[in-house]
Amino acid sequence: MEEEFEFGFTEDPKFSVERYEEMIRNQDLYFFDAQAFENIIDYYIEKNDPAKALQVAEYARNQHPFAAIFLIKQAQLLVVSNKVPEAFAALDKAAMLEASDADIYIIRGNLYESLERYAEALENYEKALDLAEETDEILLHIAYVYQNMGDYDTAITYLKLCLKQNMENQDALYELAFCYDVMDNQQESVQFYQQYIDNEPYSYAAWYNLGNAFTKLSLFEKAIDAYDYAILIKDSFASAYFNKGNALVNLEKYAEAIEVYRQTFEYEQPNADTYCAIGECYEKLEQMDDARAFYKKSVKMDPKLADAWFGIGVTLDFEERYFEALHFYKKALDLDIANADFWFAIADAEYKLGHLPEAEKAYEKVVELNPLDIDAWLDYSSILYEQQKLNEATEIIAEAIKNNPEAAELYYRMVAYLFAKGEFNEALNNLESALTADPEKHYILFDYLPQLQNNKVIIDIIARYTR
């Protein structure tokens, strides 16, 4: 017959684990009190070994059949192992032993939430709220459920309740920012974080989220101040440096932005996005060698970062190395086939290389993806006009006007094409439309057809609108 030893909770948890492993090795049966078993289970959970932790929970259940805690632990571990029916069954047994344990309803709520059975998830979380001593995490989960249901107003209510219970709950702070973002309600976001900071001035997360809200409102100076406070409180906060860099870029302070982006490297490993952002700053400063060096570092780190491949193309394009630029633009396009900016750059490079059919095809793609891009419509029609394809050029501008009825530039261009075709009455009608939309831009017409400056009828019409 196997010998039975008893181990109590007064001992060091490490000792319990050693004794347990010795029992398994010797195929013996030792008795552990409930606390010792809990310690052993927690040890294996921390070691990220759910299989061993489950094995211990099974031993614990056999020795302590009326302790609900081991069924609850078992359920948690079954959730991690993705054994959903078994987890539900363990929770049902636990509820029969100890119906007032809040953890039963929290875990059950988690399970229903993961199954997208939101009504049942809420029902369990509400039960847990009545039973638990600390409720901020439960309130956070209820907020998640409402987010998943698309009810962001209610989610915000619960996130605020969560923060009322625990001002330190970082997840709730970030989720609140996310909800305001989805609802495009940055004003209220700013208001909330300012009030929060009044009570909790040393919350770096609140300052950071305030900075993000200011950024979305294009209040970049204020955003930078908020990021500075976040950095002051937590000087290793790499995301705050990165976002401050982005705000400086928006203010066209590229040299300062580079310095701030570089500061992130002191606190986290350099990453492809930061290298790409630095490359873009050097590109704006027209320091193309430096820009290209950083874009190359970026793609070396993340070959799937389309913006960095595109950046390399831009630096080559700037140096009039169009053929090489085209190669990198196409690499970017392979990664992001529906990016109108990439198609535009390709169209422009093909045009500069004299590849007109290829340029036409690329422009066609740009306006299909972004029919509001007026420059693309103008360039597209221009290529056709240069090839004496006057009918196609006017058709393209007509299509452009249909998509952008307010854009004066398009009407002025239409006037030029109609004059070139000899359709004078139609041209004058369009001139009236152009002048109604924006009389100041009439110079566009003379840029395109300088000879019209001597046309008395046109000069008189323009004078009527520009007096």
Structure tokens at 415: 């006037």
Span of 35-44, 175-184, 265-274, 342-351 with lowest mean pLDDT? 35-44
CATH code of the domain made up of 392-467: 1.25.40
pLDDT tens column, 199-220: 899 999 999 999 999 999 999 9
pLDDT at 2 over 60: no
Q: What is the pLDDT of residues 355-389, one digit of tens each?
A: 999 999 999 999 999 999 999 999 999 999 999 99
pLDDT band at 26 (very low <50, low <70, confident <90, very high): low
Confidence of residue 63 (pLDDT cuts 50, 70, 90): low
Stretch (H or E) spanning 233:
helix 220-233
State whether residue 13 is helix, strand or coil: helix
Residues 6+ apart with CB under 8 A from 182: 152
The pLDDT-based confidence of 130 (bands split at 50, 70, 90) is confident
Please report which helix (H) or strand (E) contains residue 30, including its range: strand 29-32
User: What pLDDT shows up at residue 114?
Assistant: 83
Identify the pLDDT of residue 3. 43
| Residue 388 DSSP code | T
What is the Cα–Cα distance from 370 to 387, expressed in whole angstroms?
Answer: 24
Calculate the dihedral angle through the C-alpha atoms of 17, 20, 21, 26, rounding to the nearest 10 degrees: 160
CA 4 to CA 140: how far, in whole Å?
A: 45
One DSSP character per residue, 335-368 reads H-TT-HHHHHHHHHHHHHTT-HHHHHHHHHHHHH
The CB-based long-range contact list for 286-294 (8 Å cut-off, 24+ gap) reads 286/318, 288/315, 288/318, 288/319, 289/315, 291/315, 292/316
Output the pLDDT for position 266.
93
Residue 425 pLDDT more than 60? Answer: yes
Rg of the chain over Cα atoms, rounded to whole angstroms, equals 33
Model-wide pTM > 0.85: no
Q: How many angstroms separate the CA atoms of 147 and 104, rounded? A: 23
**More confident: 52 or 239:** 239
4 pLDDT more than 70: no
Q: In the structure, what pLDDT confidence band is assigned to residue 22 with cuts at 50, 70 and 90?
A: low
d(CA 391, CA 318): 33
The band of 9, judged by pLDDT with boundaries at 50, 70 and 90, is: very low
pLDDT in tens, 307-364: 999 999 999 999 999 999 999 999 999 999 999 999 999 999 999 999 999 999 999 9
Q: Are 414 and 398 in contact (CB under 8 A)?
A: yes
Percentage of residues in the chain having pLDDT higher than 90: 59
